Amino acid sequence: MKRTVYTAESVCEGHPDKLCDLIADAILDECLMEDENARIACEVLATAGKIVVAGEITAVEQPDIERIVRQTVEAVGYDPEEYEVEILVHDQSQDIADGVYIPAEDDPDDQGAGDQGVMYGYATDETPEMLPMPCVLAHSITRLLTVARIEGLIKGLKPDGKAQVSVAYEAGVPKEATAIVVSVQHDEDKDMDELENEVRALIVFAALKDFPMAEDATLLVNPSGRFVLGGPEADTGVTGRKLMVDSYGGFIPHGGGAFSGKDASKVDRSGAYMARYIAKNIVAAKLAKRCLVSLAYAIGVAEPVAISVDTYGTGAVPDDELLKAVKTVFDCRPAVVYEELGLYLPIFTDSTNFGHFGKEYLPWEETDRAGELLNALGR
């Protein structure tokens, strides 16, 4: 039987790229608290001693960006006093604003997309989260590292860290973990043997308690040795550089658009969330074991220019019939997505870390349209 190994990674909240994503989403959420129609495209760079916030912010009230930056840095576990904050923001381009503006006499649901692009959503029945097993396991490890640091379960941990998990599949089914790599920042005086034993026992084995490891599995903890200097002091971070961590671990195509720091008029974000919502409802309805949905948009145009569904041969009905049902049940115009998924709410910092998918409390993770899909197919 053919055996294929797939790998996914996750990073902790203190990873410099994720710190930037979280700052950007914190700025977005604060704007949405005051103005649900705020238009935000926020980018952040964090390096040794300095954090730069740039981009476009059009809102009823400008947020106190420096305060948000410092609060976020402290919440993640770093000292905000070690960073100078530089702010380089301006209003959204009027040309872009005109592309999504709808006159009062027109249907508000016909608001145009805020950009062009193709977005992908995926779901699989191999895990309760409907995500690939390596993604679920990698995120579990980084979550447990964060809990262990905050609650003091492992002494001497610091905020930066990452995990990588490889899983062997047979006939499309995940069978066992073949490699686990964990790197975590630590205090200078932390004993390396003690750290390795604690991470193995309290993190890795806990994360994989319900999934087998191969007898000859590779398990590496801080394989490069000491990891004392971390975060932006060691490695410059930028928003939008953890796209595979944010999505599906490289299991499916990616359109290249980042999520964090963007309001829902940017289909990079809202389109990806809607594609996931559709794919998850298809799998929840048992219309496929695996499903990939893609949505393509043109700036200033409400209706997607292309929609596709691929069930990888696992569909209960032909893909073309399923696509017709999807178009009947789901309205993918950005303004409708915005309302249906509640993307005007300040919920985005809840999505930033440990992947944007698989968290049941987020609206695009609901499976409330599965019955409608079945009805549309006469099932």
The pTM of this model reads 0.95
Q: How confident is the model at residue 99 (pLDDT cuts 50, 70, 90)?
A: low
Asked if residue 292 lies in contact with residue 122, where contact means CB atoms within 8 angstroms, the answer is: yes
- As a whole number, mean pLDDT of residues 135-161 equals 98
Main-chain phi, psi angles of 18, to 5 degrees: -70, -35
In angstroms, the Cα distances linking 159 to 74, 175, 180, 332, 353 are: 11, 32, 20, 38, 13
pLDDT of residue 95: 65
- 65, two tokens: 């960006």
With a CB cutoff of 8 Å and minimum separation 6, the contacts of 318 are: none
Check pLDDT > 70 for residue 105: no
pLDDT in tens, 160-196: 999 999 999 999 999 999 999 999 999 999 999 999 9
What pLDDT score was predicted for residue 104? 47
Residue 224 scores a pLDDT above 70: yes
User: Is pLDDT of 331 > 60?
Assistant: yes
- In angstroms, the CA 314 to CA 122 distance is 13
Domains of the chain: 3-11+133-230 (3.30.300.10), 117-126+266-376 (3.30.300.10)
Counting residues of the chain whose pLDDT is more than 70, the rounded percentage is 96
**pLDDT of the residue at 113:** 87
Q: In this predicted structure, what is the pLDDT of residue 345?
A: 96
Q: What is the pLDDT of residue 199?
A: 98
Q: Is the pLDDT of residue 208 over 50?
A: yes
Strand 117-124's sheet: what is its strand order? 117-124, 290-297, 306-310
> pLDDT per residue over 256-307, tens digit each?
999 999 999 999 999 999 999 999 999 999 999 999 999 999 998 999 999 9
**How does pLDDT run across 57-77, given as a tens digit for each residue?**
999 989 999 999 999 999 999
Three-class DSSP category at 291: strand
Which H or E run includes 174? strand 173-186
d(CA 337, CA 266): 11
**When comparing pLDDT for 106 and 34, which is higher?**
34
Q: Which helix (H) or strand (E) holds 370?
A: helix 370-376
Kindly report the backbone phi and psi dihedral angles of residue 359, in degrees, each rounded to the nearest multiple of 5, phi listed first.
-100, 110
Residue 251 and residue 275: Cα distance in Å, rounded? 15
